[in-house]
Structure 1
Amino acid sequence: MRAIAWKLSVGIAAVWASAPALANEEPIAADSAAPATGGQRYTPADFTRFAPRTALDMVEKVPGFVIVTGTNGGDRGLGQATQNVLINGERIANKSTDARSALQRIAAPQVAYVDIVDGASLNVPGLTGQVANVVLVAGAAAGGFRTTIRWQPEWRPRLENNWLNGEISTTGKVSGTQVTLSLKNEANRQGHWGPERRFDSDGNLSFVRDEFASYYGDRPRLALALARTTPGGDKWNVNLGGQLQQIDQRVRGTSVQPGTGQVNEDFRFAEDEVNYDIGGDYELGLGKGRLKLIGLYRFEHSPFVDTFIVDRAVGGRSGERFRQTADESEAILRGEYGWRSAGGTDWQVALEGAYNILDVDAELAVLDPGGSFRPVLFGGERTRVEEKRGEASLTWGRALAPNLTAQINLGAEYSELGSSGPGGLTRRFVRPKGKLALAWKVAPRTTINYQLQRRVDQLNFYDFASSVDVANGQGNDGNGLLVPPILNRTELEVVQDMGGWGNASIAAAYAYAQDLVDQIPLSPTTEGRGNLPPAHLYRISSKATLLLDRLGWKGARINSDLTWRRNRVRDPLTGAWRNQSRGQEYLVDVSLRHDIPGSQLAWSAGYFDERYSANLRLGAIEEDYTDGAFVTAFVEHKDVAGFTVKLSYRNLAGMKDAFDRTVFVARRDGPVAFSESRLRRFGQYFQLTVTGTI
């Protein structure tokens, strides 16, 4: 593996040595022609030093801006905008495409400019803070098809080489209709290895288990997008997509245990998922405004099998298997009508309906002496969850003063939720929600963003179904009494444009949360997912880019993304305040990039560290964390036969994956049964990224 990567790096370096220089060496700064809504405008000339291949390469280089990923796919329905990227002033309404994927499919020459504006100044409900609006060149696709390519192989020690991670997409016009066809595979070949120490109730070492884990997956997705604007100004989009997901995860452990001798353990998870989606929208002028109609249907078939087998020198073989087949479907219809009234006030009325179904068939089986798995009853063999949900909202937005804009959204959600699983019943909810967003430009380079929001979150349908963790001998009972969480939150953000020095922002947020979902007792002997008493959530975050040109280091910049959180909840077992299970505590992401003047070369170094609080079950405390920080470095050439080539050396500091678990005799307010401490390393490895357009 190291020999292959060394040959690649030597070959790439040889090409770099004879590369031509870049034309523009000026530090990136906002264009003097600011967008009409205020904010900053960046033209293609501002990104010349980076030789961008796609729109993603451009947006990622905007000082102080971090793309908010996600597709709203984890939530049912479409709702308001959830990503901080617009394309031609419109949100990405396809649930299967996140902002990064959409930008990756746009070639850099198709971008006219990028505006960074305040979300409250736009007539797009849901947006607050800094938003990137990527405006395309009119008729950019008229000159024929343009294909973008991203290939990202990895070579990791002791694991299969990952050659299949990447994406290819082509965009062009056919008879006036813009066509985008893409094939993407989010492939991974990951794993780690190392000791796990087992201690008795008094903390004495019982034995050491040597473990090796591999996590392999391929997720090829084929998608087709069609878009057209009619001579009369009507717009329509159609999106089709299908995906296969093949996941194979395996953990093998070997130990010598008192009384049983050598013990070999083998855990395996395998899933073969098939999903597809079809959606579209049509926008037309109607009266004084424009009406947009959106429709979407998606389906997912995901069978998986967990198997855990133990072979003992004394005691023989035992094992368990948990098998589950889940079918999910979602149908959405949404209508949005927006108009501008006298005085410059923007209005939008939105109505949405969604119908969601989850069908789960599950089986728990135990290995018999003959070597066959025999099903046993566990109480969660069949669960069906149905939800009929509707929401209505009204959005009002306008400039209150030349330097102050406001947006108010008022809405309500109706949900009829039924479950046939454990404790299943049908219930109906009506919940108001809304948001107030303000953007105040207190000085030419200083903006204050404020929002006050009541947000209704959605439940994970799988929490209604029972499940079994065969590897750890525990599980969850389904809970048919779950109710959706509500967050009443407020946030204040200050954004400072530092001109040639860069850009920085700092934000503070607080939320009074009701009915958060965590582990709760469902009976004196069982547990599952349930709602907690009111909780308090705190966050302080900062994003910044410091340009070092004025310090004499031409072409260098430091990017930072910092977050600190405290999510304080009432423990359902003890009643004491504690951190929310698996809640983020902090994130530190800092990188230095240097685009060497007079060359096509760049290099970078990055530092990443993140910590989550422990997961508290009623009978165990599980802490999943990393030992050390993730440090990476790369070298990049921006023109290797027309492609950008980046070679990364990752995990330079030797970060390890750690896991500590304390298991109690009954509940965790009682005596300890045993504890485990795991430390797995995954070594340093190489990653090659090749991007370009043809």
Structure 2
Amino acid sequence: MNTLILATALVQGASAATATPAGDLVFEPAYFAEAAPVTALDMVRRVPGFVIDSGDAVRGFAGAAGNVLVDGVRPSTKNRTIDDVLTAIPAAQVLRIELIRTPRPGLDQQGAQLLVNVVRVAKESRSQAVTLSNYSYAGSALLPSLRGEMSRRNRKGGWEASFLLSLNQDESGDGKRITRLPDGTVFDRAKVAIDSPIRGAEARLAGDTGFAGGVIRGNLSFTHQDYRTHEVLDFLEGPLAGSMARTDDAIRTNSGEAGAEWSRSFASNLSAKLLVLATRKDVSTRSASEGPDGSSLYRADSIADERILRATLARAPGSGIAWEINGEVAYNSLDSQSAFEIDGVPVALPNSDVRIAEWRGDASAKLTVPLSPRLTAEATARGEYSSLGQTNRVTDFDYTTRFGFFKPKLLMRWDAGNRSQIRLRLEREVGQLDFTDFASSASLIDGTVNAGNLDLRPQTAWIGEAAAERRFGKDGVVTLTYRHHRIDNVLDLIPVEGLDAPGNIGRGHINALGAQVTWPLDPLGISGGRVSFSGEWRSSAVRDPVDGSRRPITALAPFTGEIHATLDRPSLRSSFAIDVYFGQELTYRRLAEWRQTSDEPYISLKWTYTASPRLTIEASAQNILGRKRERDRKVYDGTRADGRLLFEEERWYRSTTGLFLSLRRQL
């Protein structure tokens, strides 16, 4: 009876979400029909109160979990984002979308408080599609892209394949750079022109089928990206007036992945999973500058490899206590070589030729305990051990560091009424050392040179979090979240051999307040309209290693947020959207420099037209306000603590508006 009352309260017409007895929400294809979705990604983005999280870019598989499942299983890939995975699933192959708000034994939840499960149809289906799209910007040539997709499914499994060839452009535009002396007078003034073309290619293949009494899923992928940035300075005032300077950055990345996961259910609600995964990434960086005051050249090449073996055993009874045990072994390595020269003269960089290799083990045990019909607790005991070897091939220095950490986690969920939920989390998180921090790096576009640092420790933190969710109407949701981080070994920048380098600077903290709102506009007389907001406000503090002051953590934005408004008009076979991404302000404190970057909001308008059941047309105007991007610097002749201010620099440009047109044809 209670289930019937709850379902009746939530269901307002055939297209509304329905509730399960456990409090999860189920969205049938009819719920999304007015928006005419093309892929599973279009559907998931419409789930009220949910924001896609692709997980963290970390080594190993356990810590990289996102918050989207496909058929109850986490995608067995690290080289593809959640958006990529969902784009490859046609909307016609989606049976339903489940919003998991409570622990559900048997699902690969990875400790997420809120996640989506995309359930595909288990019947014969075929899909083939070709998408031709084009970006155009003021003053640039056409930038076309071609994407092809194919999938087949039946009751035993299926496969999907896709390829993409793309030309695009990152934010580019024109602006100014002004340098001022300490007394405020202008030293020089220059026009700035920035162009950032991108070329990309990718090919992917994934499938699943029955094997050894269970299901085996596999995936192969390859991606290539050529990302370039060109900056030209045309000096108008000052000692260099009438001359020009040019800086070019080029980053080429080739990456590949192969993985497979086998899962099987046994008697007594017991299930097992076995995962093997291998990835490789080659990165080549070239940065060169040339002007009337000299030339510089930076070169770097790196190869990163990862191998993962993971096993899971879980018991998910129909009621009572559920448990899960995981074990994982991973091997990671990075080979990095770099060189820097000024006017043809080599400049020595610390740790310019290094090899990093790590063996990592991770084990966890999780219990899910229903304390009452409305209250559930989930406790996880997790430990990790790593042995990290470092070799400096210039000095023949070899060093091995071993780390061991215990990482407990406690989650509590309380259904405070039929449409409200309280979620609590207490967890010890341990960050991973970025292998690139051990090697030297530079970007002449940014004007930075960083030394590598072999003496690093992982950042650790105790995190307490509380979230309150309230649902109203057909699909209205308000969620407020407060989170506190108490951090040890904050990773920031420290001086190493006279250069900036990544390093630990002591204890710090972060306080964050987040809000997510989905507001249907039907009560206001705007049928088919909806507005959603997601934002987070942050404050932080840490002790500065240069001047000893208490200041915010480097590159932590005080606010991040976005607004999305949609309007569906089935009678016009159209859907309209406006997307607003608020700008960010980031502050960096280097040894002899203070730097701040800030962006204005990025706004786009989109129109999606279903010309026929097989043809979808999408047109959009990107960055319609031509947002302003700024970089301010203060540079000293010594450290920020005891040096004299040499100059202040203000650099800004307005990025150009882009027009996008896409035609997707279902074959």
Bin of the TM-score, shorter chain as denominator length: over 0.9
Counterpart secondary structure, 1:83? coil
Cα distance in 1, alignment partners of residues 63 and 348 from structure 2? 43
- Paired letter, 1:136: R
Alignment of 1:118-517 (within 5 A): 118=101, 120-122=103-105, 123-139=107-123, 142-143=124-125, 145-164=126-145, 167-173=147-153, 178-185=158-165, 187-190=167-170, 191-230=172-211, 233-256=213-236, 258-285=238-265, 288=268, 289-311=270-292, 318-340=294-316, 343-367=319-343, 373=344, 375-421=346-392, 425-471=399-445, 474-500=448-474, 502-517=476-491
Partner in structure 2 of residue 595 of structure 1: 568
Counterpart secondary structure, 2:72? coil
CA contact (8 A) 1:403 1:442 kept: yes
TM-aligned CA deviation for residue 577 of structure 1: 1.6
Cα distance in 2, alignment partners of residues 682 and 338 from structure 1? 51
- Paired letter, 1:108: A
Counterpart secondary structure, 2:62? coil
Call closer, same or farther: CA 1:341–1:683 in 2, change over 3 Å: closer
CA contact (8 A) 1:515 1:532 kept: yes
Alignment of 1:573-588 (within 5 A): 573-588=546-561
Match of 2:521 among 531, 544, 548: 548
Counterpart secondary structure, 1:93? coil
The worse-fitting range, judged by mean Cα deviation, of 154-163 and 452-461 is 154-163
The worse-fitting range, judged by mean Cα deviation, of 376-385 and 110-119 is 376-385
CA contact (8 A) 2:249 2:444 kept: no
Q: Report Cα offsets for 1:87-112 as digits up to 9, x if no partner.
A: 11111221112222111111112111
CA contact (8 A) 1:634 1:647 kept: yes
Cα distance in 1, alignment partners of residues 283 and 531 from structure 2? 43
TM-score by length of 2: 0.92
Cα distance in 1, alignment partners of residues 132 and 541 from structure 2? 42
Counterpart secondary structure, 1:188? strand
CA contact (8 A) 2:76 2:218 kept: no
Partner in structure 1 of residue 37 of structure 2: 52
Call closer, same or farther: CA 1:264–1:309 in 2, change over 3 Å: same
CA contact (8 A) 1:30 1:40 kept: no
Q: Report Cα offsets for 1:230-282 as digits up to 9, x if no partner.
A: 4x641101211112222222111111454444331111112333221111111
Cα distance in 2, alignment partners of residues 80 and 286 from structure 1? 27
TM-aligned CA deviation for residue 607 of structure 1: 2.8
Q: Report Cα offsets for 1:605-662 as digits up to 9, x if no partner.
A: 3332132331111111111111x32232223312356333222223333321111111
Counterpart secondary structure, 2:50? coil
- Count of paired positions: 650
Q: Report Cα offsets for 1:574-607 as digits up to 9, x if no partner.
A: 2222111111211231232211353312323333
The worse-fitting range, judged by mean Cα deviation, of 433-442 and 339-348 is 339-348
Cα distance in 2, alignment partners of residues 541 and 453 from structure 1? 18
Call closer, same or farther: CA 1:158–1:527 in 2, change over 3 Å: same
- Paired letter, 1:396: L
CA contact (8 A) 1:508 1:540 kept: yes
- Paired letter, 2:99: I
TM-score by length of 1: 0.89
Q: Report Cα offsets for 1:68-119 as digits up to 9, x if no partner.
A: 134x4x2111015621111111112211122221111111121111111225
- Paired letter, 1:79: A
The worse-fitting range, judged by mean Cα deviation, of 441-450 and 295-304 is 295-304
TM-aligned CA deviation for residue 130 of structure 1: 2.2
Are 1:648 and 2:624 matched, yes or no? no
Partner in structure 2 of residue 4 of structure 1: none
Call closer, same or farther: CA 1:472–1:282 in 2, change over 3 Å: closer
- Paired letter, 2:185: N
Q: Report Cα offsets for 1:295-334 as digits up to 9, x if no partner.
A: 111112222211111136xxxxx21111111011111111
Q: Report Cα offsets for 1:447-493 as digits up to 9, x if no partner.
A: 11111111111111111112234456542221111011112101111
CA contact (8 A) 1:35 1:115 kept: no
Call closer, same or farther: CA 1:667–1:159 in 2, change over 3 Å: farther
- Paired letter, 1:303: S
The worse-fitting range, judged by mean Cα deviation, of 261-270 and 348-357 is 261-270
Partner in structure 2 of residue 16 of structure 1: none
CA contact (8 A) 1:657 1:681 kept: yes
CA contact (8 A) 1:125 1:409 kept: no
TM-aligned CA deviation for residue 133 of structure 1: 1.1
Q: Report Cα offsets for 1:325-371 as digits up to 9, x if no partner.
A: 1011111111111113685322111111111111111122333xxxx
CA contact (8 A) 1:84 1:127 kept: no
CA contact (8 A) 2:79 2:279 kept: no
Alignment of 1:606-625 (within 5 A): 606-625=579-598
Call closer, same or farther: CA 1:387–1:146 in 2, change over 3 Å: same
Counterpart secondary structure, 1:648? strand
Q: Report Cα offsets for 1:141-186 as digits up to 9, x if no partner.
A: x23x31245554221112343212x643211159955221111356
CA contact (8 A) 1:651 1:684 kept: yes
Cα distance in 2, alignment partners of residues 160 and 380 from structure 1? 42
CA contact (8 A) 1:27 1:549 kept: no
Cα distance in 1, alignment partners of residues 314 and 155 from structure 2? 30
Cα distance in 2, alignment partners of residues 236 and 635 from structure 1? 40
- Paired letter, 2:372: A
Call closer, same or farther: CA 1:655–1:28 in 2, change over 3 Å: farther
**Structure 1 residues not aligned, in runs of 5+:** 1-25, 313-317, 368-372
Call closer, same or farther: CA 1:468–1:592 in 2, change over 3 Å: closer
Cα distance in 1, alignment partners of residues 542 and 458 from structure 2? 16
Partner in structure 2 of residue 108 of structure 1: 91
Partner in structure 1 of residue 605 of structure 2: 633
CA contact (8 A) 1:397 1:407 kept: yes
Partner in structure 2 of residue 88 of structure 1: 71
CA contact (8 A) 1:588 1:609 kept: yes
Counterpart secondary structure, 2:408? strand
Counterpart secondary structure, 2:196? strand
Partner in structure 2 of residue 663 of structure 1: 635
Identity %: 24
Cα distance in 2, alignment partners of residues 470 and 215 from structure 1? 15
Cα distance in 2, alignment partners of residues 400 and 148 from structure 1? 49
Partner in structure 1 of residue 5 of structure 2: none
**Structure 2 residues not aligned, in runs of 5+:** 1-11
Call closer, same or farther: CA 1:654–1:324 in 2, change over 3 Å: closer
- Paired letter, 1:126: Q
Counterpart secondary structure, 1:223? strand
Partner in structure 1 of residue 4 of structure 2: none
Partner in structure 1 of residue 81 of structure 2: 98
Cα distance in 2, alignment partners of residues 115 and 176 from structure 1? 22
Cα distance in 1, alignment partners of residues 348 and 17 from structure 2? 67
Counterpart secondary structure, 2:404? strand
